[in-house]
Each structure stands twice: as structure tokens, then as C-alpha cells.
Amino acid sequence: MEIILFYLVAGVAITSAFFVVKCRNPINSALNLVTTFICLAVFYIMLESPFMAAIQIIVYAGAIMVLIIFVIMLLNFGQTVRGRYTHGLAGGGLLAVLLLLVTSQFVRFGDAPGTGGEITSALLTEVGHTELIGRALFLDFVLPFEIAGVLLLIAILGALIIAKQKV
Amino acid sequence: MITVNHYLLLSAILFAIGTLGVLTRKNAIVVFMCIEVMLNAVNLTFVALSRHVGNMDGQIFVFFVMTVAAAEAAVGLALIIAFYRNRESIDVDDFNMLKW
Amino acid sequence: MYSNLWLIPFFPLLGAIVNGLFGKKIKNEAVIGGIATLLMFLSFLVAVQNFFRLLGDTEKVHEIVLASWMTVGNLQVNWELLLDPLSAVMILVVTGVGTLIHLYSIGYMHGETGYYRFFSYLNLFAFSMLMLVLGGNALVMFIGWEGVGLCSYLLIGYYYEKKSASDAAKKAFVVNRIGDFGFLCGLFILFWALAGKGVWTINFVEIANNAHLLETGGALITVITLAFFLGATGKSAQIPLFTWLPDAMEGPTPVSALIHAATMVTAGIYMIGRMNILFAMAPSTMMTIAIIGAATAFLAATIGLAQNDIKRVLAYSTVSQLGYMFLAMGVGAFSAGIFHLMTHAFFKACLFLGSGSVIHAMHHAYHHAHLHDDPQDMRNMGGLRSKMPITFWTFLLSTIAIAGVPFFSGFFSKDEILWWSFGSTAGHPIFWVVAVCVAGMTAFYMFRLVFMTFFGAQRTDARAKDHIPESPWTITVPLIILAFLAVVGGYVGVPEVLGGSNNFGNFLAPVFGHAQELHHLSAHGSHAVEYTLIALSVSIALIGIYLAWLMYLKNPELPARFTAKFASAYRFVFNKWYIDELYDFMFVNPCKKLGTFLWRAFDVKVVDGLVNGCAWVCKGLGAGLRYTQTGYMYNYAMAMVVGVVVIVGFYVFS
């Protein structure tokens, strides 16, 4: 059951990622990207990380994609771009294939032993994923957490300044 | 049985597709979207491995990747808007001032 | 005792430096010329003093070491001067005749731009020549040898703006250089040969003392002496390296007188005299020298018969007389050769200076009449006897001397050579025959010159005829002195057969006697034979004079008929036996072709190609590297991905 679901969702994810790359119209690419994000959220759920899935939908599919679609519509080049919309297809294709070959070498089929960490499946169902993340985030990684907050603030300021109209 | 290897291979494929898009497309926003695809592929790797190893660190990393991706989206799109104002085009072939 | 010997070359050197550095500022011609002449005269006085000291001395060979030059292994080379009878004679000739010519030049070069340059070079020449004759070892002599060649180039090319003059200067220098190469080869082989026997030296006295270590008549000594002789042919204008001397007449007349009559061209003879021990040991070389001397004398005399330029006739006459001197050296008559060198210096210098006086006057006349005729062409002269009496009488006396008329200096020296060429152990009657023919031709063409220039009707253009002046005292006084010497100069060497005591020969005996004794070089024959030979040569000279009188004074139309009858022979002789053309064909043009080929094929293609190729490579590299910085994000992204693939792939597959 799980296997069928996995392969199905994997197929959808790959197809929509491919269409992100292929579509001429950026709105089409954006919509395909949303599909990819949702597929990934399903994967996170299958990996017993529901919190991650929720964050994925909220942040990526909700916030970032909306922002992108707003910008596409703001800049108003919705009509299809005339002429070529790709360049260097051969080189890019070759490199992508090479990259795939190289990274896939890390995959060793067969029995891959886990390293026996303490977060087991049992613990996840018992305590709850959210609580575990919360614990890790606020106890072990509180400093990066705060810095991330500052980073977001700066990003907002930066975006404001860059996109400001010169009056 | 779905092992961690399946997830790794899947994310490798997604990463490669994202790279193809970055290298190929001329529209700046589409390039940005392909970068997001790459980032998500990496996120998937992290979560899968964290689940396999039994550690929370991978998922915390994903958390921060998402944070940074959001910030990057804001700033990047602001830049694209500024470019569009300047040049009336967001073809990456027109952004050729990064040179001597 | 002879410690002031170094002053002899030093004075002219000082003159050269002073005139060279400050001459441009000293505008006064008299001062410049005066400095130069005075210093030469001082040099002459020191030379006279040393000569008399040497006369009274029992020991005749003196070496004066000035400083050490270099010590290399076993070889010790010093700055040293050698005074012996031979060099004493030479320094007297050089400084004496040199002083007179300097005095002459003050008047002759009046008004020339670069006046100071002339005197500077002339003094420099005197310095070099004196180093040559006073040199105690072969290297000091070689410095002088090269120096006279250089000064000859500088002085022949004095009118450097004239192309023919600069060409002549180059020709002289290049031909000389070929000879110098021979000299150096000879020196190197000699040094190496002696060093092989354990004697490390290039000092003349030591070479003479150790020459017996080398095999007499062997291949080694023959090669050495032939190489030295090649140097002598270059410097003294013999076959095959004589072509430069007639062209050298482009220089001013005092230069021709000093360098090409009295001093530089005698350097070859002097060198053979200095190394007579070596030459006496190589009979084949002596034979070669005699043959070449005789052949050159003959060839030059035939060419001189047909020339119309007064200086050219004298130039070929010089080559011919030098041939005589070489003939003398070749048959073992070393002192006779030096004797003839001395008398030749007197009368030839007088002849050249006299011709200079004539040319100067003709030039003045043409300038006055605004004509552009050649002042050196004898066909424009004639009847100058009444216009320029002093010049005429001195010229006539010197001509009689060169023709070998008895009681004049040329007679004694020439007859000594003729006698030796007939009767010497290294001689042969055929040499005598050739030499006598040359004597006849010499008398003929010299008197032809005199008759055409000073006698007969005046052929000068009517407008210029009456403006030919006698020359000023600075010109005529040297003429008078030299003519006087040409007349009486022979009396120091009157041979026994004619009642004299051959003082000259005896004086030089310490230098040559040893070699002549060792190799049995002497002239043998009875006095009767000697008298007959003298009579024959005198009569042939008189026949030559008579023929000249006949053809140029009595029946002036005879020459034209003669040349019309023997037209091709005349053309052959007039065009210098086409030897210059032959050399052009054999040597000059192939050299030029080689040079042009190397220029086109090698210099332009290879060298320039290499240099341009470097630039091209740099440009190509730059063009290639430019693609790393296009500014296109797509290129940068591609580069990044390539980097990732490479690094990860390396990690994965290693």
C-alpha cells in the first residue's frame, strides 16, 4: 500500500517538477511548482514528520508561491514570451545528467543500517513530532533560531529598500 | 519496503531537474522557481536521512532552510522588480554587468 | 738609457686626443695644425736622439717594458717597445715624413669643414703606426696594425658625404680585415707551435731566439708564414688584396701621401722584416712572396700606363713599387727591401704632395672660373712648368729618382733589389727579367705623367688657364725637403760594387744577418755580372723615358693611334684587368645574396615570426580566458554546476 502511494506521489512530483522547467508560461510553471510542494508535503507525512509537512504547505506553497505569483502578475508579462525561452539546452541537459549520475552514486541499494539514534518510530507516535521538534529547536538550537529571526527581519527591510520606488 | 534509498534517489532526480531548469530557462522568475525545486529536493534528503538515522538535527536543518528560502524569496523577487524597472526585461541574458 | 722611447708614440696620441676633444672649440686653423705638427716634430726629435744613441751603442737590441698587460698561465704579455736598427729606421721615416706631411696639410686642408677632425685622425694614425713599428711583441704590433687600418678608413672616408669616398673607405677596411684575419691565424698557429715545444711567448726577441725549435721548411712554418704574408698582402696592397688602394685615392692627398705611400702600406714589409727568421726558415713561402711581389709589380705597372687621373697613376705606381719590396723580401734581400722602403717613402711622398699641389692649384683655377672639370685629370693639364716652378722642379727630381736614373736615391735601392733577384740563392733570373720590364714601364708612365702635366701646350680650359697659382710655403717647403731627400737619400746605402761602403746594409745587419747566414741567403756573382745588370737596367729606364718623350712631347698624336690599334688590350688595361669585376662576381655578390636570403627567409620569417608568435599566443590566451567573465548568469551557473559535478564525482569515484 505504502509502496504504491510512494511511487504514485513520486511520479507526480517528478512530472510536475519537469513541467516547472518545461512550461513557456511562468504562471504554468508556478502552478506546477505548487503541485511539487504538495507532493513533498505528502512525503514528509510518509516520513512521520507531520510538522514538516504543515510548515512546507504554509511557508512554501502558501507564502512563497503567493509572493511569486504576485510578482509575475505585477510585472505583467503574462503573454507568452516571443522567440526562444531556453538557452544552452544541450549543455544544461548534459550537466544535469552528469549531476544525477554523480549524486546517485551515494545511493547504495541493499541493506542500509540505521545508526540507531534515539528518535524511533515508537517515540514519534508517543510524544508527537511537533513536541520533539520544539524541544530540539528551543533547547539545543535556540541561538540559530534567534538569528533566523533577525535574518527574516533584515530580509524584510532589504526587500523594502530594493523594491522601493524612487520618488 | 520503502527504504531511505528510495527517497535519496528521488531527491537526486528532483535536484537534477531543478539544475536543468536553472541552466536552461531565460526567464528570471522561472529560474528562481527551479532553485526552489532544488532546495526542496535537498529538504527531502535531510528529512529522509534524519528519519533513518533517528536524529532530530536533520529536521532542524530543514526548518532553517525553509526560513532562509523565504527570506531569499523576498529579497530575490524585490531585486527582480528593481531590474524590471530598469530594463523592462527579465531575461537573464540581459543581466550581464557582472564582469570586468 | 732609452727610457724616453715611449714619448715617440705618446706625442701624436696626445695630439689626437687634444684635437679630437677640443678641436671643435679651437676655431683657429693655425693652432690646430700647429699643435699636430709640433707634436709630430717633437716625436721626430726624440726618434733622432734615440737613433744616434743606438748608432753609438754596441748592443743593438733594446727592449723597453712599459707595463705588464696580462699573465695567463705560462704566457706573460707586456706593453713593451723594441728598439733595434730596423725599428730605428722606421721611426725616423714615419716621424720625419709624417711631420712634413702634417706641415703640408695645414695649407692644403685650409678652409675644410672638419679641419680639426683631419688632424686628430692624422695624429691617431701616426700613433698607431709608431706602435706598430715599435711594438715589442706581436700583440702590441697588432694594436698598431688594426689602428692604422681604422685610421685609414677614417681618413679615406674623410669626405664622408660623398658616396664614392665612403664606399672606398669601406672597401679598404673590409679588404684589410681579410688580411688581418691571416695575421691572426699566423700568430695563433705560431703561438701554439712554440707552446708545443714548451716556449710560451709572443715577444719578438724570444720568438727569434726560439725559432730554431720549429722544423725548417716544414709544413707548420710554411703555414704560419703564409698566414702572416696574407696579412701583409692586405695591408700592403699586393695580389690578391690590392683592389682597395686605387679607390683609396678618394681621400685627401696628404692622406694618400702619408698612408698610402710612405707608411701604412709599408707595414707589411716591416712585418716580414721583423719576423725574417721565420720567413727565412720557409723557402716555399719566400718563393711565393717573390712571385706575388713580381706579379703585382707587373700588373700594377701595366694598369698605371693607361690611367688619366694623376693620383691613380701614382697609386698604381705605389702598388708596383711595393711589389718590388716584396720581391726583395722574397729573395732574401731584407735590407734592400727596407732600403727601398725608405727611398720610396721620400720620393713617393714628394710625388703625391706635388700632385696635391697641382690639384689644389687646378681646383683654385676652376673655382675661380666657375667650371666643374675634373682637377685631377691629366688631360686637362699641361704646360704647368712655368706656372708652378717649385712644384715642377721637386716633382721632376722625384720622378727621376723613381725611374732609377743613376745617382738618385731610387737607383741605388732598385738596383740592389735587381741584383739580388738575379743572383740570390733564393732568386731566379726570371724575377730579374720581370723586374727590369717593370722598371722600364715605371720610367715610361712616370715621365708620361710629368710630360702631360708640366710640359707641352696648356690644355686647360681657356677661362681657367691664367689663374693657376703656385702654392703657399706650407706646401712647397715640405716638397723641397722631400725632393732633397729623394736625391741624396740613397747615399747611405751605396753598395760596394759601386765604391760605397753600404752603411745602410751594415746598420741593418744585426737584424737580418743571422737569418741570412743561417739559411745561406746571399747574392753571389762576380762584379762583372753586377755591372752588366746595372747597365742593362739603366738603359731600359732611359729607353722608357725616351719613349715617353716621343709619345707625349714630340708626336702627341701617337698615343691615340696606339690605343686605336691595340684597342682591346688598352681597354683591358684601362679597366684594371677587370679584377674588381671578378671579385664582385666571386665574392661580393654571393655574400650579398646570402645576406638577402638570411634576411628574407630567416630574419623576417623565423625571428619576426617568433616574436609575433609570442604576441599572438598572448592574444589567443586572452581571448580564450575572456569567456570566464561574460557577465551572463547562465555561464556562471554552468561553471558552478560543472565544479560541483567534478568535486563530488572525484570524491565518489576515488
ipTM of the complex: 0.90
Is residue B8 less than 8 Å (CB to CB) from chain C?
A: no
Residue C375: phi, psi to the nearest 5? -75, -10
**Residues of chain C found within 8 Å of residue B18, distances taken between Cβ atoms:** none
| Pairwise CB contact (< 8 Å): A103 & B5 | no
Q: How high is the pLDDT of residue C498?
A: 67
Q: Does the pLDDT at position A79 exceed 60?
A: no
Q: Which of B12, B25, B59 sits opposite A85 (nearest CB)?
A: B25
Q: What are the grid coordinates assigned to C165, written together?
A: 669616398
Q: How high is the pLDDT of residue A13?
A: 95
Which band of pLDDT confidence, cut at 50, 70 and 90, is reported for residue A107?
Answer: confident
Q: Does the pLDDT at position C525 exceed 80?
A: no
Q: Does the pLDDT at position A78 exceed 60?
A: no
pLDDT per position as a tens digit, B65-78: 999 999 999 999 99
Closest A-chain CA to C638: A92
Tell me the average pLDDT across A13-19.
95
Is residue C652 less than 8 Å (CB to CB) from chain A?
A: yes
pLDDT per position as a tens digit, A29-49: 999 999 999 999 999 999 888
Closest A-chain CA to C633: A87
| Pairwise CB contact (< 8 Å): C631 & B93 | no
Q: How high is the pLDDT of residue C125?
A: 92
Is residue B86 less than 8 Å (CB to CB) from chain A?
A: no
Which chains touch A (3+ CB pairs under 8 A)? B, C
CA–CA gap between residue C276 and residue C268 (Å, rounded): 12
Q: Which of A6, A40, A155 sits opposite B75 (nearest CB)?
A: A155
What are C31-34's contacts with CB under 8 Å, separation 24+? C32/C115, C32/C116, C32/C119, C33/C102, C33/C105, C33/C106, C33/C109, C33/C115, C33/C119, C34/C106
Number of B–C residue contacts, CB under 8 Å: 27
Q: Does the pLDDT at position C467 exceed 90?
A: no
pLDDT per position as a tens digit, C194-249: 888 888 888 888 888 887 887 777 888 889 989 999 988 888 888 888 888 888 88
Distance (Å) from the alpha carbon of A87 to chain B's nearest alpha carbon: 5
| Whether the Cβ atoms of residue C328 and residue C419 lie closer than 8 Å to each other | no
pLDDT per position as a tens digit, C570-619: 777 777 788 878 888 888 888 888 888 888 888 888 888 888 889 999 99
Cβ-Cβ contacts under 8 Å for C290 (sequence gap 6 or more): C326, C327, C329, C330, C331, C421, C426, C427, C431
Distance (Å) from the alpha carbon of A126 to chain B's nearest alpha carbon: 15
Q: Does the pLDDT at position A112 exceed 70?
A: no
- Amino acid letter, residue C78: N
Tell me the average pLDDT of chain B.
89
**Residues of chain A found within 8 Å of residue C644, distances taken between Cβ atoms:** 99
Q: Which of C634, C638, C652 sits opposite A102 (nearest CB)?
A: C652
Which band of pLDDT confidence, cut at 50, 70 and 90, is reported for residue B45?
Answer: very high
Is residue B92 less than 8 Å (CB to CB) from chain C?
A: yes
* B78-92, C331-345, C567-581: range with lowest mean pLDDT: C567-581
| Pairwise CB contact (< 8 Å): B4 & A112 | yes
C647 exposed, middle or buried (CB, 10 Å; 0-12, 13-18, 19+)?
Answer: exposed
Q: Which of A91, A105, A106 sits opposite C638 (nearest CB)?
A: A91
Q: What are the grid coordinates assigned to C210, written together?
A: 726560439
Which chains touch C (3+ CB pairs under 8 A)? A, B
Q: How high is the pLDDT of residue C257?
A: 86
Residue keyed to cell 727621376: C400
Which band of pLDDT confidence, cut at 50, 70 and 90, is reported for residue A154?
Answer: very high
Q: How high is the pLDDT of residue C364?
A: 80
Which chains touch B (3+ CB pairs under 8 A)? A, C
Q: Does the pLDDT at position A167 exceed 70?
A: no
| Pairwise CB contact (< 8 Å): B5 & A116 | no
**pTM for this one?**
0.71
Residue keyed to cell 531527491: B11
Tell me the average pLDDT across C295-315.
88
Q: Which of A87, A95, A102 sits opposite C648 (nearest CB)?
A: A102
Tell me the average pLDDT of chain C.
84
Q: How high is the pLDDT of residue A74?
A: 85
Which band of pLDDT confidence, cut at 50, 70 and 90, is reported for residue C497?
Answer: low
Tell me the average pLDDT across C283-294.
89
Q: How high is the pLDDT of residue C419?
A: 84
Q: How high is the pLDDT of residue A63?
A: 92
Interface of C with B in 618-637 (CB under 8 A): 629-634, 636-637
- Amino acid letter, residue B59: Q
Interface of A with B in 48-107 (CB under 8 A): 48-49, 52, 55-56, 59-60, 63-64, 67-68, 71-72, 74-75, 77, 81, 84-89, 91-93, 95-97, 99-100, 103-104, 106-107
CA angle C231, C239, C208 (to 5 degrees): 35
Between C454 and C150, name the one with better pLDDT.
C150
Which band of pLDDT confidence, cut at 50, 70 and 90, is reported for residue A19?
Answer: very high
Q: Does the pLDDT at position A77 exceed 70?
A: no
* A30-39, A146-155, C559-568: range with lowest mean pLDDT: C559-568
Which band of pLDDT confidence, cut at 50, 70 and 90, is reported for residue A8?
Answer: very high
Interface of A with C in 17-76 (CB under 8 A): none
Between C654 and C223, name the one with better pLDDT.
C223
